[in-house]
Amino acid sequence: MTTITFPDNSIKQFEDIPTGMDVAKSISEGFARNCVAMKINDQLLDLSRPIQSDAAIEFLTVNDGNALEVLRHSAAHVMAEAVLNLYPEAKLTIGPVVEDGFYYDIDMPPISEDDLSKIEAEIQKIIKAKNTFERKVVSKDEALEIFRDNPFKCELINELSDQEISLYQNGAFIDLCRGPHIPHTGMIKGIKLMKISGAYWRADPSREQLQRLYGTAFFDKKKLNQYLHLIEEAKKRDHRKVGTRLDLYSFHDEAPGMAFFHAKGMDMWNALLEYWRQTHRAAGYVETKTRSFSTANCGKKAATGTTTGKTCTPASSMTRNTPSNP
């Protein structure tokens, strides 16, 4: 008999060893369909995991903010599977969840953003298949054999101290992973590949150069569309584009990232600077000016007010005009 305690302290007992999904279905089929993962004694696990002993359980549903991380982790696997289906010679490395989405670094021939739609079409096939995510635990030797053709995965496996290693399989695709994952690929209702960039394996310029594919995913297509709309609105308000369009400044290769101010831009700059001066003078500050570049130590002293003797403040700064002691 397995005793399960719910967050409201209610208790339910099961004759056989239940999985998390069994417990969720015992509440209702509709509730179970919305469940993403479970916490057993504060450990986040797949719903397919058997609950071997009495435990406190908490379900993560599609309405929980933390559930997005699980979904996007699974979406990274689905994207990687789609890439391998289209580019069998590709070698996967790592695919973590990041803020607002996920990415996967892949050793493969360069592709362009024009290729993303083809990968997205393949992703949709995998989503429609509703393949379940199945956790497998193997020995280190077995893992090395499974990934024998992928030197990146073998490098990671050899660095693990664990003698038992977890893998996840959905359909024919299998990847090195700690989990947890959503129950099946069909839970990914909205997914979009965002961009491609270059990356080095382990951020080491002496190692292999990889293709980094970025994406995002949601449980709801509507929420994906809302997110994409926000991205487009943010692009419209990008100060670099707005300022250039208004003829305030421009950017040039001679000084990447630095604005070259035009006449209109200088008018605005000077107006703001005069306002800044008037405001500080009214508050009892006087203006000082030092070199634009100095040692880091000078900046630290200015920030903490530990300077003695000579003024040590950043260029064009205001210092409170405090009378010296007689």
User: How distant, in Å, are the alpha carbons of 132, 157, 308 from that of 160?
Assistant: 26, 5, 53
| Cis check: omega of the bond before 109, within 30 degrees of 0 | no
- Residue 311's pLDDT is 42
d(CA 318, CA 182): 55
Average pLDDT, the chain: 91
d(CA 113, CA 277): 48
What domains sit in the chain, N to C, each tagged with a CATH number? 2-61 (3.10.20.30), 67-218 (3.30.980.10), 238-282 (no CATH)
d(CA 224, CA 218): 6
d(CA 175, CA 137): 12
- Residue 313's pLDDT is 44
Binning pLDDT at 50, 70 and 90, where does residue 237 land?
confident
Tell me the one-letter amino acid at 75. A
- pLDDT digit string, tens, across residues 304-318: 555 444 444 445 566
Task: DSSP for 52-105, please give it.
Answer: -S-EEEEEEETTSTTHHHHHHHHHHHHHHHHHHHH-TT-EE----EETTEEEEE
Q: Which of 69-78, 137-146, 229-238 shows the lowest mean pLDDT across its residues?
A: 229-238
Higher pLDDT, 154 or 322: 154
d(CA 187, CA 220): 9
Centre a 10 Å sphere on the Cβ of residue 283 and count the other Cβ atoms it contains. 10
- pLDDT digit string, tens, across residues 148-163: 999 999 999 999 988 8
Binning pLDDT at 50, 70 and 90, where does residue 253 land?
confident
- Residue 5's pLDDT is 95
- Residue 322's pLDDT is 59
d(CA 175, CA 73): 12
Question: At 283, is the secondary structure helix, strand, or coil?
Answer: coil
User: How distant, in Å, are the alpha carbons of 103, 181, 205, 282 from that of 68?
Assistant: 14, 11, 32, 50
What radius of gyration do the chain's Cα atoms show? Answer: 28
Binning pLDDT at 50, 70 and 90, where does residue 289 land?
confident
Kindly state the tokens that stand for 279: 């405001």
- Residue 315's pLDDT is 56
Q: Is residue 64 classed exposed, middle or buried when 0-12, 13-18 and 19+ CB atoms within 10 A define those classes?
A: middle
d(CA 107, CA 90): 6
The answer on pLDDT for 177 being more than 90 is yes
The answer on pLDDT for 294 being more than 70 is no
Binning pLDDT at 50, 70 and 90, where does residue 76 land?
very high
- Residue 303's pLDDT is 55
Task: DSSP for 156-193, please give it.
Answer: HHHH---SEEEEEEETTEEEE------SBGGG--EEEE
Residues 238-251: b if buried by 16+ CB within 10 A, e if exposed: eeeeebbeeebbee
Judge whether 131 and 171 are in contact, CB under 8 Å. yes
Kindly state the tokens that stand for 54: 């009495």
